[in-house]
Structure 1
Amino acid sequence: MMTLQRLEPREVPLGGLRAMLVRRTIPHRDRTLVGAWCFADHFGPSTTPMDVAPHPHCGLQTVTWLFDGEVEHRDSAGNTQLVRPGEVNLMTAGNGISHSEVSRSANLRGVQLWVAQPDADRNGTNGFDHFATAVTQLPVMSGEATARVFVGELAGAASPVRTYSPLVAAQIELAPGTALDIAVDPTFEHAVLLDDGDLTIAPGDAMEEEALVLQHAELGLIDLGREHLRFTSGDAPARAILIGGVPLAEDIVMWWNFVARTHEEIVAARDEWQADSGRFGHVEGYVGAIDRIPAPEMPPLRLKPRKPRP
C-alpha cells in the first residue's frame, strides 16, 4: 500500500536576517531525499528583493524555476544569466563553485530545488546550463490541465536538462474542478509542492485509498510503486510542482550549502571557503552590501550521514 505523507514548510531568511523569506520543506527531520532531490525552497509572491551575495556549493546541482519575475545568476565559472518563467537555470557544483542570485523584477515567485550528485560524479567539474523547457498538454477527465516538464520526462514530454540520476520535475496547472490522472514511473519516489489553490492527491490506480489534501506551500510525499497519480483541484485554479526520482542509495552529509559524504569533507569545504583558497572561485560583477557570505560556525558535534530510506 502506498504511503502518503504531508510535510509543512518552515520559514527561512534567504541571504540574511532582513532578506526575503522562503518556505523550506526538504530537508526535513522526517525526510531527507525524494529520489536525489535534497532541498526545496518555495518563495513569493514577494516584493522583497532577492539579493543573495556570493556563496559556495559542492556535490549538488541547483535548479531554479520561476512562476513570476526574473532572477540574475552570476557564478565563479564566469556565467551570467537571467532566468524567467518557463526557463530553467541549472548549476552543477561538482567539486566547487560559488554564485550570487539577485531578483531583477518587482514581484518574484518560484522554487529552487537541489539535487545531490551521486558519489561517482560529485567531485567532477562545475558547470552551468540555461534552457527553455518542453511543454505538453496532458489528458484530463474534466476541465483543463497543463504540464511544463523542466527535468526528466513525463507524459511523453522530455526536458533537455542533464542530471546524474533518473529524475523528473514538472509544473502542473489545473483549472477549477479538474481531475487529472498522470502516468508516473513506479520506480520513482515522488513529491508534490503546492504553490497556489487547493489540491487533493490520490493514487490513480487505487482510488479507495485515503487521499492527501495539500494546503499552500505544503509538500505531499508519495512512496514507490505507483504507476498513476490523480490530482483534483477545488473551486480555484491550482498550481503545483511534481518532483521525483529513483531513490539515491547513498548516505549523504548535508550542511549549509554543501553535500558530501563525511563530516571531514564538510569541514574541509567550509575551511576552504573561509580561507578563500580558490576552490570555489570568485564571482565577478556582483554589487551588494557584502562581497561574499561567510560560512556559519560548525556545530559542536560530529555531523552524521543522512541514510537513504529503506
Structure 2
Amino acid sequence: MSNVETNPVAVRCGPAADAGPPGTAPRVEVLAPRDVPLGGPRAMTVRRTLPQRSRTLIGAWCFADHYGPDDVARTGGMDVAPHPHTGLQTVSWLFSGEIEHRDSLGSHAHVRPGELNLMTGGHGISHTEVSTPRTTVLHGVQLWVALPGEHRNAPRDFQHHVPEPVSVDGAEIRVFLGSLAGSTSPVATFSPLLGAEIALAPGATVTLDVDPAFEHGLLVDRGEVGMAGTPLRPADLGFLDAGSDTLTLVNAADTPARAVLIGGTPFDEEIVMWWNFIGRSHEDIVRARTDWQNASDRFGAVEGYPGDRLPAPALPNGALTPRGNPPRR
C-alpha cells in the first residue's frame, strides 16, 4: 500500500542505542496516533503511528497506518493511481472490504480480510490500489518493512498467503509473517520479522512465547488491550523493547478486542524515508524521484488502471536531519 500524502516529511532513521541493564522490568511505551489526511476533501484520513518523533522503527517495521471503518459511500473508498516504491516491502492486511491490486511485475490480486499480500519493491516497483465495487466498509492497516542494505535493490516480487487461525486461551491468532503460537508463515522476508492479527474474546488473558531478540509493537484496532500490564486504547501502538521471552495480552472488557502484533530484531542501519521511497541517502531519494518523474524503466508500468500515474510531491527544502530511536532501556 502507499503513502499518498501531498506533503510528506523527510525522515532519516538511525539505529537504537544499546539495551539497558539485564533484568530490568519490561516497560511499554505508548505511541499515540496522529491523523493524516490522504489527498482531497473526500479522501480517507488515516491514523499513523510509525514513523513519529519518539520512535521511527520497530524491528524493520518503519511505517504503520490504521484506517477505517470507512464508509465507502461517503468517502468514495480507495483509488490510488500508479505510484512507485523503493527499498521496502509493503504489507496489506484488511479487517473488512476488498482492494484490487495491480503492479508492474504483472500481479493482479485482491486484498481481502485475513489474507496477506506482500509486495517487494527493492530497486523499484509501481502499483495501484482500488477498493472494489462490492466494498461498503473499508478497514485495515498498511505496513512497510525496510529492506536491509544487502537486499535494498532486491528484484520485484509479490506473495499472497492465507494464514490458518490458531486458538490459544481465548485468543484467535492469524500469523501472516514469522512464527507465533506454534504457527509459522511461509512468506519470505529479508530480516527476522513477526506479524499477526490477534482477536481476544471478552475477558481473555493470553501469554505468548516470543523471541527475546525481538522488539514488539501492538497496534490496537478495537477494544482496550493490556500489553505487559499497560492499557492500550484503539489506534494506540504499544512498544516493548527486546529482552522479554513472553508477552501477556489482556482484554478485561465484556466485548471482543482486536490488535495487530508486529516485531523483529532491532534494525541497525540508517535509512532515509520520504514519500514512497526508502534509501540510504538524500541523493538516493532525489534519484528515485527523478526516475519516477521521467517514467524510467526502473519502476515498470502497471497495466489495467484507467488513469494517469501519481506524480511525486516536491522535495523538501533543506538537508535531511538524522532521526533515530531513543536509547534502548
Q: Indicate whether the TM-score tops 0.5.
A: yes
Deviations 1:133-167 (A, max 9, x none): 232222x2xxx211000000002100111100000
- Structure 1 residue aligned with 2:103: 75
* Residue equivalent to 1:263: 282
Aligned to 1:184: 210
- Identify which of 61, 70, 77 aligns with 1:46: 70
Q: Which residue of 2 aligns with 1:226?
A: 244
Equivalent residue for 1:278, pick from 297, 322, 328: 297
Query: What is the one-letter code of the residue matched to 1:72?
Result: E
Any residues of structure 2 matched to 1:57-72 within 5 Å, and which?
57-72=85-100
For residues 246 and 151 of structure 1, the distance between their equivalents in structure 2, rounded to whole angstroms, comes to 14
1:29 is the counterpart of 2:45? no
Identity of aligned residues (%): 57
- Distance (Å, rounded) in 1 between the aligned partners of 2:209 and 2:29: 20
Give 1:305 deviation, angstroms: 4.4
Q: Separation in 2 of the partners of 1:7 and 1:103?
A: 29
Matched, 1:302 2:328: no
Q: Is the 8 A contact 2:55 2:324 kept in 1?
A: no
Post-superposition offset of 1:169: 0.6
**How far is 1:58 from its partner?**
0.2
2:120 aligns with: 92
Moved more, 1-10 or 119-128: 1-10
Does 1:112 pair with 2:146? no
Amino acid at match of 1:164: F
Alignment of 1:107-186 (within 5 A): 107-138=137-168, 140=169, 144-186=170-212
Q: For residues 322 and 128 of structure 2, what CA distance do their matches in structure 1 show?
A: 28
Question: What is the 5 A alignment of 1:196-211?
Answer: 196-202=222-228, 211=229
Q: Distance in 2 between matches of 1:305 and 1:134?
A: 41
Name segments (4+ residues, structure 1) moved above 6 Å: none
RMSD: 1.3
Letter in 2 for 1:162: A
What is the rounded CA distance, in whole Å, between the counterparts of 2:29 and 2:64 in structure 1? 16
- Unaligned ranges ≥5, structure 2: 1-23
Mapped contact 1:252–1:306 kept (Cα < 8 A): no
Q: Distance in 2 between matches of 1:127 and 1:147?
A: 26
**2:141 counterpart SS class:** strand
Q: Could you tell me how far apart the structure 2 residues matched to 1:308 and 1:47 are?
A: 36
After superposition, what is the alpha-carbon deviation per residue over 1:30-64, rounded to whole angstroms, capped at 9, x for unaligned?
Answer: 11100000001111111230111111100000010
- Give secondary structure in 2 for the equivalent of 1:99: strand
Q: Report the Cα distance in structure 2 between the residues aligned to 1:176 and 1:135, rounded to whole angstroms.
A: 18
Q: How many equivalent residue pairs?
A: 296
Equivalent position SS for 1:18: coil
**Match for residue 215 of structure 1?**
233
- TM-score, structure 2 length as denominator? 0.87
Where structure 1 has 5 or more consecutive residues not aligned to the other structure, the ranges are 203-210
Q: Is the 8 A contact 2:84 2:299 kept in 1?
A: yes
Q: Aligned to 1:134, what secondary structure does the other structure show?
A: coil
- The one of the two structures with greater contact order (alpha-carbon pairs below 8 A, sep at least 6) is 2
Aligned partners of 2:71 and 2:323: how far apart in 1? 35
Contact 2:89 2:118 survives alignment (8 Å): yes
Distance 1:161-1:281 versus aligned 2 partners, 3 A rule:
same
Amino acid at match of 2:227: I
CA–CA distance in 1 between the matches of 2:296 and 2:204?
Answer: 54
One-letter amino acid of the structure 2 residue matched with residue 120 of structure 1:
E
Q: What SS is found at the alignment partner of 1:273?
A: helix
1:205 — aligned with what? none
Question: One-letter code of the match for 1:160?
Answer: P
TM-superposed CA distance for 1:262, in Å, is: 0.4
